[in-house]
Structure 1
């Protein structure tokens, strides 16, 4: 199989590239050449936003695109490649469904309005426009990988790295109750494995790409972080109302966590039966945590940060204040 990876050096793109290489695929990456791709790939240099000339020649079995900005960028690449690639896989998002999305929502749930001809509007609309751009050029040969929360090595948002580094510091840790609150996410390598499998199966259309609801819990995630870092961190389970009243923001200040309610249902209760029926398998949270920690150690503990996303995490002084009030 011949894969053209648009990007290929960061989080999801890198995982897909490495999975394809492990299967003996011929992999070509297209990016600006500012970071090193994995060994074994052929490299084309260009800029999605203005210079696609390096893509004017060549044929591929599958294109994988992780673009998150203006749909016109997906449109231009897909149109250029439509006659020279057999399949276009666009890594989209479950955010294309309008908020709130009820529990157990499938791929057939309503989606936000989007246009392949739109500039950058907002994350949900941009991802939906990207889907439409891929579909416009490739029809039923377009596959939409609607990812939810993605964790694992190479993460450049900082969610799991923040928790790991917080546990490594040790001491009392603000932990949002209830401890048995279920989490739904996808290890980036499991996403990559399914995506490469889907290319081999020539799947098309939308697929929700997360684990089953309750694949792990907040307790299991945080205890795994303590275990792999070998720290003396002590989890102080605290009522969500008290945390919110102190001005602590779910998801951003305490990554991954959401209190019970519509946002929790939207992000942690999605239906993934369609992906499971086509081979999705999700590794244990302990493996995701351990491998992410091992990767972080190769970087001195400092994870990369996407320039288009704000840093996540809780200010130590605010954490100490909340803990003091509720100890």
Structure 2
């Protein structure tokens, strides 16, 4: 049994993570602002993580074996957490994102075209941190989401307060209505209604992970001893046409496409740049991934079923 603190953990794969940690017999504490209570048997600390004094007061004398941070978006949040949990935990795992590799958001080293990127494409140990940027401004943060995640990883890595690892998640799907971004529902709805899907002239592949598989990986990461980033994605990159055809097959319809001019926004998951990660490091460390095409049809079916259950006006 470990004492594990989850920051966030109120929805989607974070909620499932808390349930699975508890089911495995761990002593779990959840920290969030109180919008959703955790499962029975889980300690709940209601506090705003951005308020350092309040966070320290809520933690009191508690210590943990591992902290899993589901909702760290800025280096300011990371710096607060690094100070608050220094001496309170031996290990800290931050949930990060594939978007740290987006070449549109940073000057990154060139990777061979079509090659899934490894973790060293973005090294948090060498990434610069700028705490004086307007990270508290919601519009700024939304526009700089990828850089916020890169700098958050870097702030933890630079702090050296505990063993630090980050899990860079691929695009997360599955769970029907739990998938709150609505990106899979976008395809399900448009194809079911016979509406066009906007795609790039040359749509390139990306990677995905099922929300339950990501929860499993985070559980695994709490018991592991690796440090630094690991990429989390199911095997097998998929492009927007692959995705749309799976949706079409489940919906019993044909997908209709509209090619957008260069520079125009297309539908979610249509990318004009190669946007795939390598999961080789996680595999070498002992985690076994599923294949995207093994679970994606069922995830699509869940989304279609959820959409059909919503009453229309």
**TM (normalized to structure 2)?**
0.77
Note closer, same or farther for the CA distance 1:159–1:40 as it changes in structure 2 (3 Å cut).
farther
**Paired residues for 1:160-175 under 5 Å:** 160-169=184-193, 171-174=194-197
Is residue 70–residue 118 contact of structure 1 (8 Å, CA) maintained in 2?
A: no
Other-structure match for 1:313: none
Over residues 133-180 of structure 1, what are the superposed CA-to-partner deviations in whole Å (9 max), with x where a residue is unaligned?
3224445610011223222223222211222233343x2543648899
Contact 2:82/2:161 (<8 A) preserved = no
Give aligned pairs, total.
Answer: 285
Which residue does the alignment assign to 1:307?
none
Q: Does the CA-based 8 Å contact 1:221-1:286 persist in structure 2?
A: no
1:109 pairs with one of 101, 105, 121: 121
| C-alpha separation in 1, matches of 2:145 and 2:245 | 32
Q: Match for residue 19 of structure 2?
A: 18
Q: CA–CA distance in 2 between the matches of 1:297 and 1:39?
A: 29
Distance 2:245 2:186 in 1: 14
Contact 1:6–1:63 under 8 Å retained in 2: yes
Q: Deviations over 1:17-62 (max 9, x none)?
A: 2332332322211011112334442211101122312123312111
Instruction: Give the match for residue 244 of structure 1.
Output: 261
Deviation at 1:224, TM superposition (A): 3.1
The answer (yes or no) to whether the contact 2:16–2:215 under 8 Å persists in 1 is: yes
Partner residue in 1 for 2:233: 210
Contact 1:116 1:133 in 2 (8 A): no
The alpha-carbon distance between structure 1 residues 23 and 148, as it changes in their structure 2 partners (threshold 3 A), is same
**SS class of match (2:261):** helix
What is the match of residue 277 of structure 1? 284
1:145 counterpart (146, 167, 188)? 167
Instruction: Report the Cα distance in structure 2 between the residues aligned to 1:5 and 1:194, rounded to whole angstroms.
Output: 14
| Correspondence for 2:67 | 63
Once residues 23 and 246 of structure 2 are traced to their aligned partners in structure 1, the CA distance between those partners, rounded to angstroms, is: 28
